[in-house]
Amino acid sequence: MKHNFRNWPVLLVLFIFSLPLLIMLTFLVVDTFTTKVPGTLVPNAFTLHHFRFLWTDLDDGRWGIYGVTLNTFIFAASTAAVVTAISVMAGYALSRLSFPARGFFLGSLIVLHAFPTVTLIIAIFLILQILGLYNTLIGVIIVKTALELPFGIWVMKGFYDTVPWEIEMAGVQDGASRFTVWWKLILPQVQPGLMAILIFSFLSGWSEFVLPMVLNPGTDAQVLSTYLATLLLDTNTNSDFNLISAVGLFYALPVVIIYLIFQNKLMNIYGGGTKG
């Protein structure tokens, strides 16, 4: 169906619309590695000066970038691990096991899945204060996990639903307990789902900004998103866009790499899963 029509007008329109994004992306990279002729957009020399945050501390008191990166990694990785672990179990229960009030739990899952979680931030802030988890990395991890869970469980349940019942029946018939059947026979079948959730929630944690900003505003366990936001919103630094872009590029590097590797998989999750 491609041959009946000429493509170039469409291509042109698309290109024009994409121009702002293309410009932003191009200069994000160009600016960080070059110096410019003042007042123009023309680079005139290669430099690594904007990446100085990698070998010197930017200013007093603030943690070095590596500490912040480590925090971000801990935050994203533990969120991803916990979300995946819990979803893998709960998804199986909802898909395959019978227990009291199963219908109710399924309904709740859908409701939670659709619920806009940001609206809860104020109450969560107060809950963390009361629990004494305010301003700790652990607190943000738990909250982020909770908010990601409905999505994770939903996706996992979907994957479990596609595993043929007969495999499970055969396992039970071969004398294995339901737990063994799950662990040895079913889990290997939903590995793609497991990977999908792991990747998705890691990215989601890595990019998360609002939760760390509100629940963990201190500098003790800062993450890259809040670190970058402080640079951006702080009037002392917010005009040094080359530095900010360099930090941003450093911050986004894992995301871009993961995106390049898992591009198609990710598009499917974002499309089918609807959250994010």
Partner 1 sequence: MQRSSWLGLAFLSPALIVVLLFFLMPVILTGIFAFTNMSTATGVKGGSYVLNASSLRALTDAGLPDVTRSQIESAGYRVDERGLAALAEAHGQAVAEEFSKNHAGEVFTKRRDVERALKDLSSNPIRKTRDRKAAADLFKRSILNQRYETLDAFEAALNEAGIPKPDRPLITEIAYTGWTWTTANFDLLLSLDSTWQYAKNTGIYVTFTLAFNVVFGLFLAITTFYLPAAQATAFRAIWFLPRILPPVLYIVMWRWFTWDTGFISTVLSGFGVSSKNWMLDTEYHAWVTVILINGFVGASMGMIVFSSAIRAIPASMLYASEVDGASRWQQVWYIILPQLRWPILFITSYQTMSLLTSFEYIYLSTDGGPGGSTEVWALAAFHTALNNYGGNLQYGLGATYALLLVVIGVLASLFYLRLFNFKNLLTKPRIEG
Partner 2 sequence: MRISITNFTKTFGDTTVIKDMSLEIESGEMLALLGPSGCGKSTTLFSICGIHRMNAGRLRFGDKDVTKRPPQERNVGVVFQNYALYPHMDVHANIAFPLKVRKEPRAEIDRKVLEIAALVHIEELLQRKPSQLSGGQQQRVALARALVRKPDILLLDEPLANLDAKLRLEMRSEIRRIQQQTGITAVLVTHDQVEAMSMCDRIALMNKGDIVQVCKPKEMYDNPASDFVAGFLGNPPIAFLDGIANDGEIRLANSEVALRLPSNVIDLSNGTQLRLGIRPEFFQPENDMKVTGKVSFVETQGREDLFDVTLTNGAVLRSIQSRGGDIKLGDEVTWGISREHILAFGPGGERL
Q: Which 105-164 residues touch partner 2, going by CB under 8 A?
A: 164
Which runs of E-coded beta strand occur in the chain? Answer: 34-36, 43-46
3-state SS of the chain: helix, strand, coil percent to 5?
Answer: 75, 5, 25
Scan residues 55-84 and list those touching partner 1 (CB under 8 A).
Answer: none
Q: What is the 8-class DSSP label of residue 164?
A: -
Pick one of 45, 48, 54, 106: the residue that binds partner 1 (CB under 8 A). Answer: 106
Please tell me whether residue 22 binds partner 1 under the rule CB under 8 A. yes
Rounded to a whole number of angstroms, the minimum distance from the CB of residue 192 to partner 2 is: 12
Rounded to a whole number of angstroms, the minimum distance from the CB of residue 31 to partner 1 is: 8
Please tell me whether residue 170 binds partner 2 under the rule CB under 8 A. yes
Asked if 92 contacts 186 with a C-beta cutoff of 8 angstroms, the reply is yes
Asked if 84 contacts 191 with a C-beta cutoff of 8 angstroms, the reply is no
185 touches which of partner 2, partner 1, none (CB within 5 to 8 A by kind)? Answer: partner 2
Please tell me whether residue 174 binds partner 2 under the rule CB under 8 A. yes
Pick one of 86, 138, 185, 187: the residue that binds partner 1 (CB under 8 A). Answer: 86
Complex with partner 2: residue 33 or 92, whichever CB lies closer? 92
Q: Which residue has the tokens 């009361």?
A: 130
Pick one of 45, 54, 126, 261: the residue that binds partner 1 (CB under 8 A). Answer: 126
Scan residues 168-227 and list those touching partner 1 (CB under 8 A).
Answer: 168-169, 172, 178-179, 203, 206-207, 209-210, 214, 224-225
Phi, then psi, of 34 in degrees rounded to 5: -135, 165
Cα(69)–Cα(94) distance, rounded to whole angstroms? Answer: 36
Rounded to a whole number of angstroms, the minimum distance from the CB of residue 85 to partner 1 is: 8
Please tell me whether residue 265 binds partner 1 under the rule CB under 8 A. no
Rounded to a whole number of angstroms, the minimum distance from the CB of residue 101 to partner 2 is: 17
Rounded to a whole number of angstroms, the minimum distance from the CB of residue 175 to partner 2 is: 5
Burial class (CB in 10 A: 0-12, 13-18, 19+), 178: middle
Pick one of 150, 152, 171, 212: the residue that binds partner 2 (CB under 8 A). Answer: 171
Phi, then psi, of 101 in degrees rounded to 5: 60, 30
DSSP labels for 169-217? HHHHHTT--HHHIIIIIIGGGGHHHHHHHHHHHHHHHHH--HHHHHH--
Residue 257, CA atoms < 13 Å, CB-side half-sphere:
8
Cα(234)–Cα(214) distance, rounded to whole angstroms? Answer: 17
Pick one of 26, 129, 173, 274: the residue that binds partner 2 (CB under 8 A). Answer: 173
170 touches which of partner 2, partner 1, none (CB within 5 to 8 A by kind)? Answer: partner 2
DSSP labels for 72-125? HHHHHHHHHHHHHHHHHHHHHHHHH---TTHHHHHHHHHHHHHS-GGGGHHHHH
Rounded to a whole number of angstroms, the minimum distance from the CB of residue 272 to partner 2 is: 23
123 touches which of partner 2, partner 1, none (CB within 5 to 8 A by kind)? Answer: partner 1
Q: Report the interface residues with partner 2, using CB under 8 A.
A: 164, 166-167, 169-177, 180, 184-185, 188-189
